[in-house]
Structure 1
Amino acid sequence: MAKKYHVYGMGNALVDIVTEVTDEFFKEHSIEKGFMTLVDENRQQQLTNAIHMPSADRQCGGSAANTIIGAAQFGASCFYSCKVANDEMGDFYHDDLISHNVSTNLSPGSHEEGITGKCLVMTTPDAERTMNTFLGITASYSTKEVDETVLRDSEFLYIEGYLVTGEPGLNAMKEAKRLAEEYSVKTALTFSDPSMVKYFKDQMADVVGSGVDLLFCNEEEAMLFTETKTVDRAIEALKQKAKTFVVTLGSKGALVFDGSEEIKIDPFPTTAIDTNGAGDLFAGAFLYALTQGKTHAESGCLASLASSKVVSKWGPRLDEGQAKTLHDQLFS
C-alpha cells in the first residue's frame, strides 16, 4: 500500500535571516567563518543590530526544513515535525511552511510560550556561508514532537544532524529512528555541518547506531566522522555505517554509493554567489527522485543540477516553477 508521505522530516525550526557581509565583519565581531555557531539571544541581537536588516531576507528555515521544502517543490508529499513559540515569528514559520505545500505538526495558537529560534545566515563575496544560531524554543524539541502515526505512513524519515546538540533533540532522533525501523520506514540522516561531527561525535555515532539506510554528508564531515585523512578512506569506512550514502564534493560534484557500487556525480557548470542551502537542496532533490523510482545515479544527477542552480542565486530555495523545469530538463 502506498504511503501518504514520501518524506517525514524532523529538525530545528529557525527563521532564517539571510544577509551579505564581508570578512572584515567577521573579524570585528569575532565570528568563526564557515561554521554554524550556537549563540545566546543577546549575542544574536548584537549581530542583527550590526547588519543592515532592511536588505536581509526572512524565511522559514533550518537545514531539514530547507530539504523538505526542496523535495516538496519537486512534487514530493512531505511532513515536517518541528517546534516554534507562540510569537509572531512562530506564526510566520507555520504560514511559510504551509505556503510551500508542507504538512506539519504545528498548529497556530497552540504553541508554547517562548521565543522562536532564529538563524543569522551571513554570506561573504566568496559565496561561503556562516551561521550564528539562537535556538530559542526549538532547543526543547523532544519526543513529544515525533508523530508516530504520520511517521508510520511515510516512506522515508529524514533526520537533521543539528538536533544532536541537546539531550531532548538527541532522544527524539533516536526514538524516531527506532520507530522507523519498527515500521519498516527507511531512515535518512544528514550530518548537517562539520561542527556537529567535530564537537558531538559520540552523540552522532549514537544516532547512527548499527547503521542508517541513507546518509548525506560532505567530504569534511565524512573524514571527521570516520577519523580518516582522505575522502577515499572515509568512503570505505562509511560503507560499514550506511547502506547507501552521498558525499557531496562542492564544485567537484558528488560521490554516491548505492549499496553495491560507487557512482561519480558530475557537477553542472555554475557561478556560485551563495552556497547557503546547497547541501539541503541536494538532499531534497535526491530524496524526491529516489521516492519516484529513479536510480541513485539519476537522483544524484537531479540533485547536482538543482544545487548548481540554487548556488547561483541568493537564498536556499529554487524559484517558483524552477523545480519542474529542472526535472523536465533531465527526465522528459
Structure 2
Amino acid sequence: MMNKDIKLCGIGNALLDMQFEVTDKEINDLGLEKGTMTLVVDDVQETVLKMMGNRTKYVSSGGSAANTVIAFSSFGGKAAYKTMIGDDEDGFFYANEFQNLGIILDAPVDEKDHTGRCLVLITPDSERTMLTSLGATQNYKKDFVSDETIKRSEWIYIEGYKLSDDIGYEAVLHACNVAKKYDTKIALTFSDTFIIELFKERLNSIASLSDLIFCNETEGMAFTETTNPESALESLVKRFKNIAFTKSAKGSIISWNGNKINIPAYEAKPVDSTGAGDMYAGGFFYGLIYSNSIEKAGHLASLSASKIVSQHGARLKSSHTKLYSKIYS
C-alpha cells in the first residue's frame, strides 16, 4: 500500500498578492471590467501602482490554488504546492512564507524572470478585480513536475488558470497522467469564465480526468452554455462524478456520486470577496479528507468562505480550529 503522507498537493501559479481598496470610478477610469481577472504586462501593473500612491496595501503569498493549500494546511492538513518563482525578493518572501506555514514548496527558481504578482483592487461592494502579471510562474513546464510528490499525495488540486498557456497545460496534463498512475485523485477548479471562454477544450480534457470539480454559478453556466444555474448544475451532474457548485450568498450544492446535498450560506458582512472560492475549497478538502461526512465538509467550506469575505485579504485571520469545532463538535 502506497504511503499517501501528503493529503493535498496544489498545482498553480505563484503570485504575490497586493490588495488595495479602490472606487468604482477608478475601476472605470482604468477601463477594467469589475470582478474579473486580467492578464497584463508589467508596465500596466506599474501604472496602477503609481495610481495607488501611498494608500494601505495588504501583501501575501497567493495564487488561487496556493490560497486553497494554505487554508487546508492552516486547518492542520499535510500539504504541498507545485509552482515556479523568480530569483528575487518576492520569490524569497514567497518561499519563506510557505516554509513558515509548514507546506512543502516544490518550486524551481527561474533566474531570468520575476516572481508573479497580482494586484487585487477591491471596490466598496466587496468585489475584487485582479490584474495579474504571471512572470516566472508561466514558465513552469512538465519537466518540473516531480512524480514523487504526486505519488505521495492523496489528492492533487489544479487551478484552471494554469491552462491559459501551452506550457502550463502540458505540465498539468502530465501531472494528471502521473496521478492516474499512482492512484492519486484529481480535483479541478474552473477558476474564471475567461478560462472557459478561451480554453474550453483544454478545460474539458482536464475535467474529464478529474474526480472532483469546483465551480461557481457563473462558471457553471458558461461551461455548460446554459442560462440558469439549475440547468447548469443538472448538465454538470450528468458529466462529472463529484461537483462542488457554489452560489455565493445562496450557499452551495455538493453533488457526490449522484447524491445532491444543499449547503446553506453562513451569515457574513462582506467586505472583500478575494479568495472566497479558494477558502471554500480548502475547508471542503480538509473536511473531506479528515472526516467521513461530505455534508459536514460542505458546512466547513461554507462557514470558512463566510469568514474570509468578512475581512480583507485571502488569508483567514480568525482561528481555523474554532471554525472546525463549530462544525465537528
Q: Normalising by structure 2, what TM-score?
A: 0.97
Structure 1 residues 279 and 224: CA distance shift in structure 2, 3 A: same
- Conserved in 1, the CA contact under 8 Å of 2:157 and 2:186? yes
The residue type paired with residue 113 of structure 1 is K
Could you tell me how far 1:79 is from its partner in structure 2? 0.2
- Range with bigger deviation, 75-84 or 1-10: 1-10
Work out the CA distance in 2 between the residues paired with 1:238 and 1:171: 25
The corresponding residue for 1:224 is: 222
The corresponding residue for 2:19 is: 18
The corresponding residue for 1:148 is: 147
The corresponding residue for 1:185 is: 184
- Is the partner of 2:4 in helix, strand or coil? coil
Work out the CA distance in 1 between the residues paired with 2:55 and 2:5: 40
Could you tell me how far 1:198 is from its partner in structure 2? 1.9
Pick from 272, 276, 279 the counterpart of residue 278 of structure 1.
276
Is residue 261 of structure 2 the alignment partner of residue 263 of structure 1? yes
Is residue 232 of structure 2 the alignment partner of residue 197 of structure 1? no
Stretches of structure 2 that go unaligned for 5 or more consecutive residues are none
Work out the CA distance in 2 between the residues paired with 1:53 and 1:70: 30
- Conserved in 2, the CA contact under 8 Å of 1:74 and 1:324? yes
Q: CA RMSD in A?
A: 1.3
- Is the partner of 2:71 in helix, strand or coil? helix
Work out the CA distance in 2 between the residues paired with 1:49 and 1:101: 35
- Cα deviation, 1:187-238, whole Å, max 9, x if unaligned, reads 0000111221122212211222x34100000001011111112212211221
The corresponding residue for 1:67 is: 68
- Range with bigger deviation, 68-77 or 191-200: 191-200
- Range with bigger deviation, 27-36 or 273-282: 27-36
- Range with bigger deviation, 138-147 or 171-180: 138-147
Could you tell me how far 1:120 is from its partner in structure 2? 0.2
Work out the CA distance in 1 between the residues paired with 2:19 and 2:54: 9
Structure 1 residues 53 and 135: CA distance shift in structure 2, 3 A: farther
Work out the CA distance in 2 between the residues paired with 1:156 and 1:228: 30
Work out the CA distance in 2 between the residues paired with 1:52 and 1:11: 30
The corresponding residue for 1:39 is: 40
Could you tell me how far 1:111 is from its partner in structure 2? 4.2
The residue type paired with residue 58 of structure 2 is D
Could you tell me how far 1:114 is from its partner in structure 2? 1.5
- Conserved in 2, the CA contact under 8 Å of 1:83 and 1:106? yes
- Is the partner of 2:86 in helix, strand or coil? coil
- Conserved in 2, the CA contact under 8 Å of 1:285 and 1:303? yes
- Conserved in 1, the CA contact under 8 Å of 2:110 and 2:136? no
The corresponding residue for 2:322 is: 325
Could you tell me how far 1:317 is from its partner in structure 2? 1.4
- Conserved in 2, the CA contact under 8 Å of 1:211 and 1:243? no
Is residue 159 of structure 2 the alignment partner of residue 160 of structure 1? yes
- Is the partner of 2:10 in helix, strand or coil? strand
Structure 1 residues 211 and 233: CA distance shift in structure 2, 3 A: farther
Work out the CA distance in 2 between the residues paired with 1:40 and 1:183: 38
The residue type paired with residue 278 of structure 1 is A
The corresponding residue for 2:83 is: 82
The corresponding residue for 2:206 is: 207
- Conserved in 1, the CA contact under 8 Å of 2:20 and 2:55? no
Work out the CA distance in 2 between the residues paired with 1:317 and 1:297: 24
Q: How many residues align?
A: 328
Work out the CA distance in 2 between the residues paired with 1:53 and 1:185: 46
Stretches of structure 1 that go unaligned for 5 or more consecutive residues are none
- Cα deviation, 1:260-297, whole Å, max 9, x if unaligned, reads 21111001111000110000000011011111133221
- Is the partner of 2:201 in helix, strand or coil? helix
- Conserved in 2, the CA contact under 8 Å of 1:211 and 1:240? no
Work out the CA distance in 2 between the residues paired with 1:44 and 1:24: 18
The residue type paired with residue 117 of structure 1 is G
Identity of aligned residues (%): 37
Work out the CA distance in 2 between the residues paired with 1:196 and 1:111: 25
Work out the CA distance in 1 between the residues paired with 2:36 and 2:292: 33
- Is the partner of 1:223 in helix, strand or coil? helix
- Cα deviation, 1:34-80, whole Å, max 9, x if unaligned, reads 10000001111111111135511111000000000000010110000
The residue type paired with residue 31 of structure 1 is L
Work out the CA distance in 2 between the residues paired with 1:279 and 1:249: 10
The corresponding residue for 1:52 is: 53
Structure 1 residues 202 and 331: CA distance shift in structure 2, 3 A: same
The residue type paired with residue 179 of structure 2 is A
- Conserved in 1, the CA contact under 8 Å of 2:237 and 2:258? no
- Conserved in 2, the CA contact under 8 Å of 1:211 and 1:241? no
